[in-house]
Each structure stands twice: as C-alpha cells, then as structure tokens.
Amino acid sequence: MTGRRVLVTLFRFQSVFGLVVVFAAAIVFSPSNDGALVFLGADNLLNVVRAISEIGILAVGMTLVILVGGIDLSVGSVVGLASVGVAELLTTNDWALLPAVFAILALGLGFGLVQGVASARFRIQSFIVTLAGMQIARGLARMWSGGEGVSITYGDGPGQAPVAFSLLGERTFNGTVPIPALIFVVVAALAMVLLRVSAFSRHIYAIGGNEKAARLSGVPVVRVKVLVFGICGLLAALAGIVHAGQLNFGGPNDGSGYELNAIAAVVIGGTSLSGGRGTVLGTVAGALLVGVLDNILQLNNIDSNVQLIVVGVVIVFAAGLQRLRPGRAQAGP
C-alpha cells in the first residue's frame, strides 16, 4: 500500500476513524462512578446503540437513496405512520403479530415505491416528491390515529396486542443486548453485504456517479431508483415498528426530524450528497459517532443546546474533510 492509498482509505472510512477518536475522547471525559467509567459500562454502551438503532435503520435506507443521487425526506413521517399503523392494527383491529408487521412493512415499501416512481419515472426531483410524501405520511398517521397517540397494552383480550410485540422493548442475551440494536445490526450487515457483492449495488453506484452514462451503459436506471426508494420506505416502516414496540405507543407526531438525523449520519459517514460515493459502514459509524457524542455530553451534564451545536460542527467538519479527499478527478482532458 502506497502512502496515497493509505490516505484514500483513511478518507473513505473517515467516520470510522472519527468514531475511534470520539470514543477515545468519551473515555477521557467520562465521569466515573465508584472508580468505574460510566461511559464504558456495558449498560451505557448498549444504551447508545439502542438509542441510535431507529435512526441507524433509517440511515441505512437513506444511504442507498443518497448513493443514487436522491434524498428521502419522508422517512421521519413514515416512522410516525408505521408506529401508528402497527399500534392500531394490533390493538383496535386485533390483528395477529406477523400479519400486522408484514402489512406495515408492505405499506412502507409501497409508499417508497410510489415516491420512487414519481421521482424516477416522472422525473420530479426526489427532494420535492419526498417533501410531499413527508406531509402526506404525517397526515395519514394523524388521520389513522384520530390525532391521538395509540397506547399499546399487551394481553390476549380484545384490543390488546400480542405479548410477543413487547419484545421490541426488551433485551436479549440475559437482558443485555436490546432487541432494536440487534435489528439495526442485522439491517446494517445485510446492507453492507448487498453493497459489496451485488450487481444491484454496481448499478446504484453507477447511477450516482453519472446517471446518463449509467443509462447509456444499459443500467435500468428507473427500476433501480424505484427499488432503492422502496427499500428506504420499507426500512422506515421497520424503524416505525421498532419505535412503537420500544415505547408501547404509536405516536402520530413521532419521528419528526428523524429524516434530518438520518441524513446527518449519512453525511458524517462520508457519503457524498451528489451520489455515487459512500458506504454503509461509514453511515453506521456516523450514526454511532453522533450517539456517542450525545451520550458523553449528557453524561457530563452539558446543555442539550450545546449538543446540537457540537453535532452541527461535526457535520460541517465531515463534509469539509470530503473536499480534501485525494483521488478526485482533475478537470481537463
């Protein structure tokens, strides 16, 4: 490996290195309790992962969308819609667990596919399409729930959700690993493998790199984009289900602003907003980085407003680093 290649790798996985740095800083600044660092406590670390699991799931889908040069602003509202939907189906409509979950996943998939068709087939900018989708999903969520949160109670009686659904709020492996964190890890791992080995991923990157060239190279651009938006919607619905399960509650107003947090994780992860460049590993590290930052700032009792500022600075810093990235094509023949 030459020096340049080391540098390229470093930039490619900037958020991973960023995460290492922030992690180290968190250890240094962690308050201690009876001599043990609070930050490093297994309880705390798993809390961090659980806390980012919803945003992380969204960010994985968002990474794919951004890789094809799009954006999906609707995911936060879809989280709200899915959480209300699953709560209503399980309680008011007394559906069984699996049908309810699959119905909501299908709803998210369908919502994403429609947005994909609107933006890829009819060539409306995805920003606009999903901005509309964001409003529509929010409106649907409020209509479905009658504007009020849907509380989920468990049991066998009518209007009660199957007890299995409450597992989403639990921890597995002797009560250590939170289930949502586990779901996030599985989703991220699948996406990583998908982006590494599949022909589909080659098409995704090609479209983001140069859509016209991709089309002329025989890439089914519309189909790939529609599918990517579909996957993003599906993952948003999954995040919404996890959300409802964790809180025992379907909130029509929940998830607002999540889309921006997901985009932030993607950007910190080194994915270019113009598409064609980025990794899921980077996004995962980006999401973790924000989670660790929030955690250590709260552990040190730092004002939540300062937390916002710190995350803002990190985003700018991450985007700035990408500008310095070597190996960019030079202008001129």
Partner 1 sequence: MATACGTTHENAPGASAGAGPATQACKGPGAAKFTICMSQANLGEPYRVRMDDDIRKAAASIPQFTVNFADAAQDNSKQVEQVSTFLTQKIDLLIISPNEATPLTSVVKKAYDQGIPVLVLDRKVDGDAYTSFIGADNVDIGRQAGRYFKEHLLPQGGKIVELKGLAGSTPAKERADGFDEGIAGSGITIVGTADADWLRDKGQQQADALLKAHPDAQAIFSENDPWPKVPGSPRRTRARRRCRSSGSTGCPCPRAASRRWRPGGSRPRSSTRPAGRKPLPRRRNCSSTAGRSRRRRPCRRG
Partner 2 sequence: MIRIGGVPVRFARPADAQRAGVAMIHQELDLVPALSVAENVFLGREPHTRYGVPDPKRMVRATRALLEQSGVDLDATAPVERLRTGEQQLVTIAKALSLNARILIMDEPTSALSPREVERLFAVIDQLRTAGVALVYISHRMEEIGRVADRATVLRNGEVVAEFAARELTASQVAEAMVGRPVQQMFTTETRPSEDEHVLMVDELVVTPKAGRREPAGISLSVGAGEIVGVAGLLGSGRTELLEALYGASPGTITGGRIQLNGKEYRPRSPRDALRNGVAFVPEDRRISGLSLDHSVLANTVLSVVDALARFGVVAAGREREAAHNAAAQLGVKLRTLADPVGALSGGNQQKVVLGRALLTKPQLLLLDEPTRGVDVGAKAEIYRILGEVAQTGVGILLASSEPAELVGVCDRVVVLRGGKTAHEFDTALAGEGELLAASMGDVR
Chain contacts with partner 1 (rule: CB under 8 A): 31, 33-34, 38, 41, 43-44, 47, 50-51, 54, 142, 145, 147-149, 151-152, 169, 243, 246-249, 251-254, 257, 295, 298-299, 301, 303-305
Task: Report which residue type is found at 298.
Answer: Q
Closer by beta carbon to partner 1, 124 or else 299: 299
Part in contact with partner 2 (CB under 8 A); list of ranges 52-60, 73-81, 213-221, 257-265: 213-221
| Sequence-distant (≥ 6) Cβ neighbours of residue 207 within 8 angstroms | 68, 69, 214, 219, 221, 224, 225, 275, 276
Part in contact with partner 2 (CB under 8 A); list of ranges 51-59, 132-140, 163-171, 198-206: 198-206
In the list partner 1, partner 2, none, the entry touching 27 (Cβ below 5 to 8 angstroms by class) is none
Closer by beta carbon to partner 2, 13 or else 29: 13
Question: Is 217 an interacting residue with respect to partner 2 (CB under 8 A)?
Answer: yes
Distance CA 23, CA 89 (A): 41
Closer by beta carbon to partner 1, 34 or else 156: 34
**Residue recorded with tokens 């790939």:** 224
Residue of the chain from 210, 248, 253, 307 that contacts partner 2 (CB under 8 A): 210
- Which residue from 128, 87, 135, 81 is spatially nearest to 109, judged by alpha carbons? 81
**What count of Cα atoms within 13 Å lies in the side-chain half-sphere of residue 39?**
21
Q: Residue 32 pairs with which residues in a beta bridge?
A: 37
* Number of neighbouring beta carbons within 10 Å of residue 146: 11
CA geometry: angle 94, 98, 102, nearest 5 deg? 105
Distance CA 297, CA 302 (A): 5
Closer by beta carbon to partner 2, 152 or else 219: 219
Residue 259: CB minimum distance to partner 1, A: 13
Residue 81: CB minimum distance to partner 2, A: 30
Residue 329 per-residue DSSP state: P
Residue of the chain from 98, 197, 306, 308 that contacts partner 2 (CB under 8 A): 197
Residues that bind partner 2 (CB under 8 A): 197-200, 202-203, 205-206, 209-210, 212-220, 276-277, 327-330, 332-333
